[in-house]
């Protein structure tokens, strides 16, 4: 039930042709291909930059520990 049969693909193709028109489909496909190439290039660039930036991120995420609170002065004196 989850797989698309050839009839599903045919109906989908007809709907796409009706929505965009036969003249605009090649331009849309070219634009989609160009966008995917740019996206892949950006992902590769981010992956290559990741190891260099990791140590600086760890250092910036460190939070200084709060100073310990002084313990109250305990005396045996009772209030009058």
Write out the residue range of the structural domain in which residue 28 sits.
22-51
* Whole-angstrom distance, CA of residue 36 vs CA of residue 42: 10
pLDDT in tens, 44-79: 998 887 655 555 555 555 666 666 676 666 666 666
Is residue 45 within 8 A of residue 52, CB to CB? The reply is: no
The mean per-residue pLDDT over the stretch 12-29 comes to 87
Q: Residue 16 has what pLDDT?
A: 86
The verdict on residue 16 lying in a domain is no
Q: Residue 10 has what pLDDT?
A: 92
- 4 pLDDT band, cuts 50/70/90, is confident
The verdict on residue 64 lying in a domain is no
The verdict on residue 28 lying in a domain is yes
The verdict on residue 13 lying in a domain is no
Q: How many domains does the chain have?
A: 1
The verdict on residue 39 lying in a domain is yes
The verdict on residue 74 lying in a domain is no
How would you label 18-33 residue by residue, b for 16+ Cβ within 10 Å and e otherwise? eeeeeeeeeeeeeeee
For the full predicted model, state whether its pTM sits above 0.85: no
The mean per-residue pLDDT over the stretch 22-47 comes to 91
């Amino acid at each position: 039930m989850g797989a698309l049969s050839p009839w599903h693909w045919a109906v989908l193709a007809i709907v796409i042709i009706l929505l965009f028109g036969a003249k605009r489909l090649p331009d849309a496909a070219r634009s989609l291909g160009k966008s995917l190439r740019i996206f892949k290039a950006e992902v590769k660039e981010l992956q290559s930059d990741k190891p260099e930036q990791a140590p600086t991120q760890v250092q910036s995420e460190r939070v200084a520990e709060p100073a310990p609170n002084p313990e109250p002065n305990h005396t045996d004196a009772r209030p009058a």
